[in-house]
């Protein structure tokens, strides 16, 4: 009787080997679409913003300083915080462009 049960257990079909890869592959796809892809999109937008910086743009640095760009160099920008107070900042530390010189003011 025990031999019959052992024979029946070994005769059961095992699932295909590829089914062991379904869960890890699914987890990687979820990781890609929920975390990595949006992060890459944000990095691309930041690179485009930094590449488009020009004199007259009002910007916010990563440190929270708000000012207007007075000079643009290859790796640096000069940001005027108040009248007569200019700081030199690395281009990549510009976090956001508040207003561009090309866009008219909202009340105009």
Residue 90, domain member (yes or no): yes
Residue 59, domain member (yes or no): yes
List residues bridging with 79 in a β-sheet.
Answer: 69, 87
3-class DSSP state of 23: helix
Residue 37, domain member (yes or no): no
Q: With contact defined as beta carbons under 8 Å apart, do 89 and 50 qualify?
A: no
**pLDDT tens, residue by residue, 7-44:** 555 556 788 888 888 889 999 998 888 888 899 999 99
Q: How many domains does the chain have?
A: 1
* pLDDT attached to residue 108: 47
Query: 68: domain range?
Result: 52-97
> Which positions ≥6 away from 52 have C-beta within 8 Å?
97, 100
CATH at 75: 2.30.30.60
List residues bridging with 85 in a β-sheet.
Answer: 82
Cβ count near 54 (within 10 Å): 12
**pLDDT tens, residue by residue, 74-102:** 999 999 999 999 999 999 999 889 887 65
Residue 107, domain member (yes or no): no
Residue 32, domain member (yes or no): no
**pLDDT tens, residue by residue, 43-62:** 999 899 889 999 999 999 99
């Amino acid at each position: 009787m025990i031999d019959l049960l052992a024979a029946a257990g070994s005769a059961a079909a095992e699932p295909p080997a590829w089914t062991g890869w379904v869960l890890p592959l699914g987890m990687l796809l979820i990781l890609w679409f929920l975390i990595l892809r949006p992060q890459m999109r944000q990095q691309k937008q930041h690179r485009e913003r930094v590449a488009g910086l020009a004199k007259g743009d009002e910007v916010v640095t990563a440190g929270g300083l708000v000012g207007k760009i007075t000079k643009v160099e290859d790796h640096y920008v000069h940001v005027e915080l108040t009248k007569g107070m200019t700081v030199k900042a690395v281009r990549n530390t510009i976090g956001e462009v508040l207003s561009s010189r090309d866009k008219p003011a909202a009340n105009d």
